[in-house]
Structure 1
C-alpha cells in the first residue's frame, strides 16, 4: 500500500512538473514563433504606413525581419517632410540635428547610436554597431567617426524649413512640448504652429515577424525639438525605447523619452507578455506604471507603447488619446489603428 501511495505521489509530481514546463517549451529556445504565427509588421504613427510598405516588400518575399525593420524605418528617416525623424528633423536649441536609433533581433543582438550628427540613416549605423563592433551603443563624435569609417556619407541634416522653424523658436526660446503635435508656445498667450504646419509625432518604432518565425525591431528619431544639446531620449536605449525577445515578443515606445527610460518601458512590456498578458494588456500596464508614479505630470505628457508577441498579435496603449499605429500583413496592407488611452480626447 505504501509503495502504491509512493508511486501515485511520484507520478503526480512528475505530471505537475511536466505541466509547468509546457509554457516554457511552447515559448521555445530558438526565438522562433509557433505554426499559427502571422507574418506581420507594425509601427508607430501614421507615417508608419509608408514605412510598413517598405518592410512588407521584404517580408512578403520570405525575407528576414531584421532587414525589413531597417528598410522600413529608413523611409521616414529620408522624408524631408517628417520633422521628427532623420534628415529634416528639427534641431536642438543650438541648431544641431542629432539622431538616436536602435535595432534588435530575436536572439538579443542589438546596436544603437545616440546624438549622431551628419548621417541621415541612423538606423543603418546602429545595425553596423551591432554587427561589426563588440559594443551596443556609440554616441556623439564617436558614433559619427564610426559611421564615416563604415562608408556613410557626411551631410548637413538641417534643412531650410527646419532652420526657419529654429530661428522662429529662438525669438522666445521657450521649451514646452505639446502632446502629439509639433506645436510650441512662443509666449503669445497660446500655442502657435511651426512653419510648414506639419505634425511631429516624434519616434518611429517598428516591430516585425517574418515567415521564418523570427522577430526584430527598430526605433529611430531626431528627438524632441529644441532639446538641450547632448540630450538622449529612450529610442537608442535597449530596454527603454526598444526591446525584443524571440521567445516572447517585442515592444517599442513613443512620446516623452525620459519617462520611458525611468520605467525601462519596452523591457517591462515584454516581461509582462512573458507573464501571460496580451500585447494590449502589457502596454496598458506599462503606461499605468508611469501614470501611478506621476499622476499630476502624466496628464500633460504623452507616452505610448506598441507591442507584438511571438505569434504576431499586436496591441498598444497610450497616456493620451491621439496615438495611432500602422499594421501591415497579407490581408491588410494599410491599416491605421487608434490606440486606446488612459485619458480620452
Structure 2
C-alpha cells in the first residue's frame, strides 16, 4: 500500500512537473498564434495621397495592381496633378510668385532611403520626374533654380510655359492689392503628397507643388525637403504633409510622424501628435492649415489636420475612398 501510494504521489508530482511547462508552452503558442493572426492583417498594395485627387490614386493603383513597384506608382500618380492645368497649386497652371513666375518644388524617396529633390525650378512641367533623375543620376539629393532647370534639359525634359492664362489673370488681379494671405483648405492646398506600398511591402513617396500663391521670389516650403514634406522608412512607414510649409519645416513634421509610428503609434495618432506640436508652437495663431498623412508597414493609413476640411484619397483592392481627417480645431 505504501509503495502504491508512493508511486501514485510520484506519478502525480512528475505529471505536475511536466504539465506545467507544457501548459505554459501551449498558452504561449496560443498567444503567439493569436498575435500572429492580428499582425497578419496586412493591406497591400495601397496608394494614398493628400486631398481628394482621385485621378492620382487611380493612376498609382494601375501601376500597383499590375505588380509595379511603389516608386513608379507614386511618381506616375502625382504626375497626373502636375499635368492638370485646373489644379492651380501643382505643376503646369500653378499660381505664380509675386513676380509672375511659376516655380515648382518636388521630391521623391524610395524604399532604400534614396531620395532626390528640385527646388524653385521653372519651365519644367514634371518636377517629380526631375527629382527622380537627381536621385538616380547624380551624387546629390537637391538641385535648385537654374541649376535644376539646366539639369532637366540635359536629361531630355522639354521647356514649357507653365503660366496659364487663368493663373495669369488671377495674378494680375492680385497685384491690385498685393495682399499676401494663406487661405485655408481647397483654395490654397498647395501640395499633393503620395505614399504607396507595393505587393512586396516596399514603401515609396513623392511630393510636388507650385508653392504658395504670390510668394516671395525664391520661397521654398516644406514640400521638397526630405524629413519635412516627405519621409520614408521602409521598416516603419511613411508620411507627407500639406499646408503652410514653414510650420512643417519647424518641426521636421514627416520625419517626426514616422518616428512616432516607430514608437508604436498608429498613423492617425502620429499625425495627431504632429499637429499638436505645431499648434504648441503657435499658441496665439490659428490662421493656417496643416494636414499630415501617414501609412505604416501594415498598410494602415491615417491623417490629421489643424482645421476641418483636409481629406485624403486611398486606393486598395477594395476600391477607392476619400477619408475626412480629424482636426485640432473643431468646426
Displaced runs of 4 or more, over 6 A: none
> Using the alignment, how far apart are the partners of 1:127 and 1:226 within structure 2?
27
Find the structure with the greater CA-based Rg. Answer: 2
**For residue 337 of structure 1, what is the aligned residue in structure 2?**
323
Normalising to structure 2: TM-score of the pair? Answer: 0.87
> Using the alignment, how far apart are the partners of 2:139 and 2:248 within structure 1?
26
Q: Cα RMSD (Å) of the superposition?
A: 1.5
Q: Is the 8 A contact 1:214 1:246 kept in 2?
A: yes
Instruction: Indicate yes or no: 2:120 matched with 1:134.
Output: no
Instruction: Indicate yes or no: 2:211 matched with 1:216.
Output: no
**For residue 186 of structure 1, what is the aligned residue in structure 2?**
none
> Using the alignment, how far apart are the partners of 1:309 and 1:80 within structure 2?
32
> Using the alignment, how far apart are the partners of 1:34 and 1:135 within structure 2?
38
Number of matched pairs: 295
Instruction: Indicate yes or no: 2:299 matched with 1:312.
Output: yes
Aligned counterpart in structure 2 of residue 268 of structure 1, from 252, 256, 280: 256
Q: Give unpaired runs (5+ residues) of structure 1.
A: 1-25, 27-32, 183-199
Instruction: Indicate yes or no: 2:173 matched with 1:168.
Output: yes
Q: Is the 8 A contact 2:107 2:115 kept in 1?
A: yes
**For residue 106 of structure 1, what is the aligned residue in structure 2?**
111
> Using the alignment, how far apart are the partners of 2:41 and 2:189 within structure 1?
35
**For residue 55 of structure 1, what is the aligned residue in structure 2?**
60
> Using the alignment, how far apart are the partners of 2:232 and 2:212 within structure 1?
24
Q: Give unpaired runs (5+ residues) of structure 2.
A: 1-35
Deviations 1:166-196 (A, max 9, x none): 00000011101111142xxxxxxxxxxxxxx
> Using the alignment, how far apart are the partners of 1:177 and 1:275 within structure 2?
33
> Using the alignment, how far apart are the partners of 2:316 and 2:300 within structure 1?
11
Deviations 1:217-255 (A, max 9, x none): 000000000000000000000000000000000000000
Q: Is the 8 A contact 1:34 1:310 kept in 2?
A: no
Q: Offset of 1:35 from its aligned partner?
A: 7.8
Residues 5-154 of structure 1: pairs in structure 2 closer than 5 A: 36-47=42-53, 49-154=54-159
1:131 partner SS:
helix
Q: Is the 8 A contact 1:78 1:121 kept in 2?
A: yes
> Using the alignment, how far apart are the partners of 2:148 and 2:312 within structure 1?
30
2:319 partner SS:
coil
Q: Offset of 1:107 from its aligned partner?
A: 1.1
Q: Is the 8 A contact 2:242 2:291 kept in 1?
A: yes
> Using the alignment, how far apart are the partners of 1:107 and 1:279 within structure 2?
21
> Using the alignment, how far apart are the partners of 1:73 and 1:111 within structure 2?
15
> Using the alignment, how far apart are the partners of 1:140 and 1:238 within structure 2?
17
> Using the alignment, how far apart are the partners of 1:332 and 1:159 within structure 2?
34
Q: Offset of 1:210 from its aligned partner?
A: 0.3
> Using the alignment, how far apart are the partners of 1:239 and 1:320 within structure 2?
23
Q: Is the 8 A contact 1:104 1:218 kept in 2?
A: yes
> Using the alignment, how far apart are the partners of 2:183 and 2:277 within structure 1?
21
Normalising to structure 1: TM-score of the pair? Answer: 0.84
